[in-house]
Amino acid sequence: MSFENLIRDVYLKIKNTEDPGEMASYIPELSKVDPTNFGVHISTINQINFGTGNCYDKFSIQSIAKVLALVLAYRLVGAEIWKRVGVEPSGTAFNSLVQLEADKGIPRNPFLNAGAIVVSDILVSNLKNPKEDFIDFVRSISKNPALEYSNIIAQSEKNVGYRNVALCNFIKSYGQIENDPSDVLDFYYDLCSLEMSCKELSELFLFLANNGRDIKTNRSVLSESQSKRINALMQTCGFYDESGEFAFKVGLPGKSGVGGGIIAIHPDQYAIAVWSPKLNKKGNSLKGMKFLEEFTTRSELSIF
């Protein structure tokens, strides 16, 4: 199968469809992005790379970075991490406080804001220089020393992050945050401000399609068992309260961000990144979801 021809065909079809989605205006800087941007890039196990549209333009990956934070925390503390954060879908919005009281401050999964804040707390506790060490880790597995946080986006998110402040303090009240909430949130906002292109994302995440091993060096980023569990969490929890819909229509592990990006993994096959900034009502890229549904339907390649 020619991924190039298929991606071109599906890209043109989706590009020309109406997009009633809305920008993530609650983070002011994200609302300034050109809403017509649309890019796709695939990286395969046998080292085929192809992209189209705005696939080389950098954007704020937002919650996609939660996967990278989880990967590093999992490397550092192993299975102990699951004592601090659960592995169940939530059925609630990404910034919901609803279940935290019933669950005594333990977030349902690491991809909710609450869960990513707890993962951030683990990293702050275990890294000597959390911000520098985390970006160094991402640069090392991406082999891209130019990757950076966006200070403008991090500050924009911090200026309106009242609910995240509430989440962090509420979890702290149950003794589930070890560090000062302001330090944890400062790291969390930088984490979410990471900027990458579709090309960079698909290349970076390819290790999760390769049993946790770097495709070029065969170096282990995660164990095979850990990689399987990260993929399982992306399958069940990667799209907030639309995770079931994504599994039903696309059939791949994946993770979205309110910057309009989506990364999806086909184990033993490829990693594919899509970016279109206008979001549906659940906070996922509207065209990105449509593209991946059409792509897996026509390629007949999903995990099911």
Tokens of residue 39, six digits: 């890019």
136 half-sphere exposure, CB direction, 13 A CA radius: 7
Of the two residues 170 and 102, the one the predictor is more confident about is 170
pLDDT for position 241: 87
Checking if the pLDDT of 94 tops 80, the result is no
Cβ atoms of 274 and 18 closer than 8 Å: no
Checking if the pLDDT of 95 tops 80, the result is no
Q: Give one DSSP letter per residue of 137-189, joined into a string.
A: HHHHHHT-TT-B--HHHHHHHHHT-HHHHHHHHHHHHTT---S-HHHHHHHHH
Alpha-carbon Rg of the chain, whole angstroms? 18
Burial of residue 111 (CB within 10 Å: 0-12, 13-18, 19+) is buried
* Mean residue pLDDT across the chain: 95
Of the two residues 46 and 25, the one the predictor is more confident about is 46
pLDDT for position 1: 59
Checking if the pLDDT of 253 tops 80, the result is yes
Kindly state the percentage of the chain with pLDDT values over 90.
91
pLDDT for position 29: 92
100 closest CA partner among 211, 113, 64: 113
Tokens of residue 49, six digits: 């790379």
Q: What are phi and psi of 107, to 5 degrees?
A: -65, 150
pLDDT for position 174: 96
Q: What are phi and psi of 134, to 5 degrees?
A: -70, -50
pTM exceeds 0.75, yes or no? yes
Checking if the pLDDT of 244 tops 70, the result is yes
Checking if the pLDDT of 91 tops 90, the result is no
Checking if the pLDDT of 93 tops 80, the result is no
Query: What are the tens digits of pLDDT across the range 136-154?
Result: 999 999 999 999 999 999 9
Residue 49: pLDDT band with limits 50, 70, 90: very high
Mean predicted confidence (pLDDT) in 76-84: 97
E strands, the chain, where? 39-44, 49-53, 59-60, 195-196, 254-256, 261-266, 270-275
Checking if the pLDDT of 302 tops 90, the result is no
Checking if the pLDDT of 191 tops 90, the result is yes
Domains of the chain: 3-61+196-299 (3.40.710.10), 63-192 (3.40.710.10)
